[in-house]
Amino acid sequence: MSRSVTRIRSVLPTSGRTALGATIAGTVLTGLAAAPERVGRLFRHRYPTVAVTGMTGVGKTQLADRLARRSSSDSVAEVGSAVMERRTRRSARLHGFRFLVVPGDNAATRLGALDEVFHDEPVDGVIHVVANGHATGRRTGGTTGAATATRQEQLAAELEDWAITSHRIASMAVRRDKPVWLVIAVTKVDLYADELDDVLRYYSPGSGSPFGDKVDELRALAGGAKLSIDVLPVSSQGGDRKAAISARRAGEMVDALAGRLAQLSGHV
């Protein structure tokens, strides 16, 4: 205890000393009680949570693995995951992201995961993954083997999936006291590299496309000031001799996405 506090206590009557002690103790306890909240806010700033959403087969887990700098499991790539996958990206500067990959299958686990990331413990940002109708077709129930679906059917399924997710995002955004950010990640670009500009436009707000109209609806529901939207191309593949995207270019796209996440999260 400092000399000044000791001097004050020496001139105070017993009742005054008791009150002073209670005040000091209360201040200390208040500080201790607030410490976990401050630590939690600091951790949340350094490692914001990001929901990775999208229909089954678009490559959500593969993208999260690339962002987290880890290899993907072939079995997950084949049949998808029925539960929420968690990945963490760490940097040397003690910053990073915690990715929550929402299952794509329309099952109870998916709906529960959507509730978790958008309502129970709202995330800081969203990466919604789309594939221009080139999602890997999967059989229902997570059974192995490819399912047959036309590109138009996949585009329709992608749009339906986005309608569900976008309403969840809007509901979360209107409840938040700070803006929410959304990145629409257009994957598998090696399959349509020569059409990339048109495809990016299709997924962009104000494009007049079916998907763009849904994005405009989301902005209207959430409020323009409450939601920022980016549309970025990404390739989780690349490097094969026949691939239209080289391994280096694929890596640059993933790095560009990670860089944008850092900007949106205030890390740079």
Spatial separation of the C-alpha atoms in residues 114 and 123, rounded to whole Å: 11
DSSP structure class, residue 68: T
Q: Quote the pLDDT of residue 5.
A: 44
- List of E strands, the chain: 49-53, 85-90, 96-101, 125-130, 180-186, 227-233
Q: Please name the amino acid found at residue 227.
A: L
Question: Which residues of the chain have a pLDDT value below 50?
Answer: 1-2, 4-9, 12, 32, 39-40, 43, 75, 142
* Non-local CB neighbours of 147 within 8 Å, separated by 6+ positions: 137, 138, 139, 140
- Please say whether the dihedral angle defined by the alpha carbons of residues 172, 177, 179 and 183, taken in this order, is positive or negative: negative
The pTM score is 0.78
**For position 81, what pLDDT does the model report?**
65
Residue labelled with tokens 């998907």: 211
CB 228 within 8 A of CB 264: yes
